[in-house]
Every structure is written in C-alpha cells, then in structure tokens.
C-alpha cells in the first residue's frame, strides 16, 4: 500500500534518470559485451517494476532476479525481456518458470535433469559453474560430465554459462585472477555458450572479466562497487524526514534508551521519526560502528546522531546549529547529496547492499526522472 507523503515517516526519492546513467556508464565500459541488470530484492529496495521499466526504455534487455516470484513480477511489467532466476530451479516448479518465460540458472545436476525433462529443448536456461566462491553451482567434475552429454544439454536448452566472483570488489585479491582462469578453462568445455562472470564490481576489473554478458547490481543503485576507492557511480536515492520536536537537554542528562549518550554541555536535541524499522540500522547508534558518529544533514550542516537508534526514531545533537534553522517540521537529509548509502554502511559496519535492501516500507516512495 502506498504511503501518503503527509503521513509517512519520511520521503524516499528514487532518481530513475541517475540509475539509467549508471547503467549506461557500465554498458559503455564493457562494450561490446551486453550489459544486463540485476534487480533482485525488489530492485535493491528501489522497486523492481519501476527499475525494470526504466532500464528497458534505456535499452537493457536482460534481467536477473533471485526468486521465481520476482521473475514473474518483472515479466508482468516487461513481456519481452529475458529474465534469469539466479537461485536455480525450485524443486517441482518447472511449470511456473515455463508459464512465465523464466530461465533458471541451473546450479546442480538435480536442477538440470528436472528442467531437461520439463523443457524438452523448448525452453532455455543458464548453467552455473562454481569457480571458487563455494556456494551455488556445478563443480568441475559435474561440469565435465555435462559437457560430454550433448543430448542432455540440448534438452535443457542451455544458452548461457555463468559463474560468480567471490572478491570482485577487491581488485587486489588473487581470487579474481584464479576464478577468471578457472572460468576460461571451463569455457573450453562449452565453446558454443555465451558466458557471464562479472557482477557490478567485476565490470571494473577489465575486459577479461566481461565476456559476453555482465550483470551489475548494487552499482546501478548508487552503491560503490570498489572497496577503498572513490565511488564512480551517481547517487540514486535520497531520504528526507521532518523534525518531530526540538528539546533542551541539561548538561549531564542522558538521551534515549540506556542513556548511552550524555550531554557534556547544555544541549539541544532534535527528534526524527525514522529508526531501525525503517532501515536506519541500530548499529548506527552513538558512536556508530566505524568512523562515527553517524550524521544527518540539516540546512546544509552536518549534525551527529546521539543516543541509540530505536525502532521508530533517532535523536540528533543540533546544539551548534542555528535555532532558527531547526524547528518542528524542518527537513532532515538522511540520505542524499551529502550522505550516501556507503556512509550508512560504514557507520553501521556493513555493506551498501544491506542498507539498500533494508530501507523500510513506511516511507512515501517517490520516483523522479
């Protein structure tokens, strides 16, 4: 159910034009490889339908989701799109995939045989080979056995060879070259299949990782795909909430549950109605996990979150801000041009992926283009 802006905890704005520019930048970078888009987890919290439609209009034709139900949502919006389901073929659900034109990424021999029996060469699928992350995927011996069975591959309608990088966001990790070389060896077993290895970080590792199709995810939504480097992506989301109240706090008084922050001077504290139920993680409580304290931006000035992040609210030390600029109803930037999802991730000791997919349902969601 859509939340009316006047009744919402905050307003979350998704700039689809910036998202499209992020996709186009990666597409130019990996050309002549095709640039797809990963839109699982409801488009990383940004709305799978809206994201898919914007990217389709921009020229994206291949989409990746995690679950078959996510694939159906995208299919309902884009009747002609190519849609892969990364979590494989759910047992007994071949008919669902076929009915909605979904291509499973087959991850084990059981997947393969069930799909081959159901598809009979009339419907397509990818095959996922593990090259070192040790999650989903055929091992090397299973891949060799499959490559020797031309009839099984035909009945399974194999049209894409996939693998997944374990450390693509760290360009110094030796596992990237190891996985690249293993994948190159596996490609010789399946010379007729187009190949896909690179997720969002992998698209920045060079042309040896791009192959025929890349599948960026977090970078499309403004997350930094490069650990320890400046973010090359455009900001996509902004989050703003009003001040509910400004109160005076005496020196020595505590604020919030457990009084984990105490004022060291007479202070003013602004209360904002956004908390961990809305995706502002409890780990961002004073003094935050890393590089704290976490901050917000009010009237162009940064102000620290103090006390604990609770389910429904945060408290902000605004003592150093002009009282005329911080009143009940004043807009507070939680995410936007001054504060990015990677800032939240750093303060919470986590990843931008978790921040994006945790953004709550109590926001009024607005799309701009």
Give tens-digit pLDDT for 320-342: 999 999 999 999 999 999 999 99
**Known catalytic membership, residue 124:** no
Domain with CATH 3.20.20.10 in the chain: 16-221
pLDDT for res 193 = 97
Q: Domain 16-221: which topology? A: TIM Barrel (3.20.20)
Residues 103-113 pLDDT 10s = 999 999 999 99
Q: Which among 229, 257, 295, 363 is annotated as catalytic?
A: 257
Note down pLDDT in tens along the chain; length 369 residues. 678 888 888 999 999 999 999 999 999 999 999 999 999 999 999 999 999 999 999 999 999 999 999 999 999 999 999 999 999 999 999 999 999 999 999 999 999 999 999 999 999 999 999 999 999 999 999 999 999 999 999 999 999 999 999 999 888 899 999 999 999 999 999 999 999 999 999 999 999 999 999 999 999 999 999 888 899 999 999 999 999 999 999 999 999 999 999 999 999 999 999 999 999 999 999 999 999 999 999 999 999 999 999 999 999 999 999 999 999 999 999 999 999 999 999 999 999 999 999 998 899 999 998
pLDDT for res 1 = 63
Residue 96: other Cβ atoms inside 10 A: 16
Domain with CATH 2.40.37.10 in the chain: 237-368
**SS (HEC) of the chain:** CCCCHHHCCCEEEEEHHHHHHHHHHHHHHHCCCEECEECHHHHHCCCHHHHHHHHHHHCCCEEEECCHHHHHHHHHHCCCCEEEECCCCCCCCHHHHHHCCEEEEECCHHHHHHHHHHHCCCCCEEEEECCCCCCCCECHHHHHHHHCCHHHHHHHCEEEEECCCCCCCCCCCHHHHHHHHHHHHHHCCCCCCCEECCCCHHHHCCHHHCCCEECCCHHHHCCCCCCCCCCCCCCCEEEEEEEEEEEEECCCCEECHHHCEECCCCEEEEEECCCHHHCCCHHHCCCCCCCCCCEEEECCEEEEEECCCCCCCEEEECCCCCHHHCCCCCEEEEECCCCCHHHHHHHHCCCHHHHHHHCCCCCEEEEEC
**Known catalytic membership, residue 257:** yes
Q: What is the pTM for the complete model shown?
A: 0.94
Q: Domain 237-368: which topology? A: Lyase, Ornithine Decarboxylase; Chain A, domain 1 (2.40.37)
Distance between CA atoms of 184 and 193, rounded to whole angstroms? 12
pLDDT for res 228 = 86
pLDDT for res 5 = 80
Question: What is the number of alpha carbons within 13 Å of residue 322 lying toward its C-beta?
Answer: 7
């Amino acid at each position: 159910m859509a939340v009316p802006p006047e009744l919402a905890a905050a307003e979350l704005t998704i700039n689809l034009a910036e998202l499209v520019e992020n996709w186009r930048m990666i597409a130019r970078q990996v050309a002549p490889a095709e640039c797809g888009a990963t839109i699982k987890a409801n488009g990383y919290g940004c709305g799978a339908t809206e994201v898919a439609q914007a990217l389709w209009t921009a020229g994206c034709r291949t989409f990746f989701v995690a679950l078959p139900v996510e694939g159906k949502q995208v299919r309902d919006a884009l009747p002609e799109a190519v849609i892969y389901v990364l979590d494989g073929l759910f047992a007994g659900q071949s008919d669902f995939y076929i009915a909605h034109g979904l291509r499973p990424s087959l991850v084990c021999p059981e997947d393969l045989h069930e799909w081959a029996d159901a598809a009979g060469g009339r419907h397509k699928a990818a095959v996922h080979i593990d090259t070192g992350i040790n999650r989903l995927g055929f091992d090397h011996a299973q891949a060799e056995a499959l490559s020797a069975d031309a009839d099984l591959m035909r009945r399974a309608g194999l049209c894409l060879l996939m693998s997944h990088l374990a450390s693509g966001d760290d360009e110094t990790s030796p596992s990237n070259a190891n996985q690249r070389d293993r994948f190159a060896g596996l490609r010789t077993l399946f010379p007729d299949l187009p190949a896909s290895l690179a997720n969002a970080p992998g698209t920045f590792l060079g042309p040896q990782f791009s192959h025929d199709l890349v599948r960026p995810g977090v970078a499309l939504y403004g997350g930094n795909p490069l650990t320890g480097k400046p973010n090359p992506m455009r900001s996509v989301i902004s989050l703003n909430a009003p001040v509910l109240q400004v109160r005076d706090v005496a020196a020595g008084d505590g604020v919030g549950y457990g009084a984990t922050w105490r004022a060291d001077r007479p202070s003013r504290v602004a209360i904002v109605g956004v908390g961990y139920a809305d995706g502002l993680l409890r780990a961002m409580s004073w003094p935050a996990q890393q590089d704290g304290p976490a901050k917000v931006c009010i009237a162009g000035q940064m102000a620290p979150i103090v006390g604990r992040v609770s389910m429904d609210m945060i408290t902000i030390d605004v003592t150093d801000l002009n009282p005329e600029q911080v009143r009940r109803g004043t807009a507070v930037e939680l995410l936007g041009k001054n504060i990015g999802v990677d800032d939240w991730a750093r303060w919470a000791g986590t990843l931008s992926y978790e921040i994006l997919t945790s953004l709550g349902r109590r926001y009024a969601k607005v799309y701009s283009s």
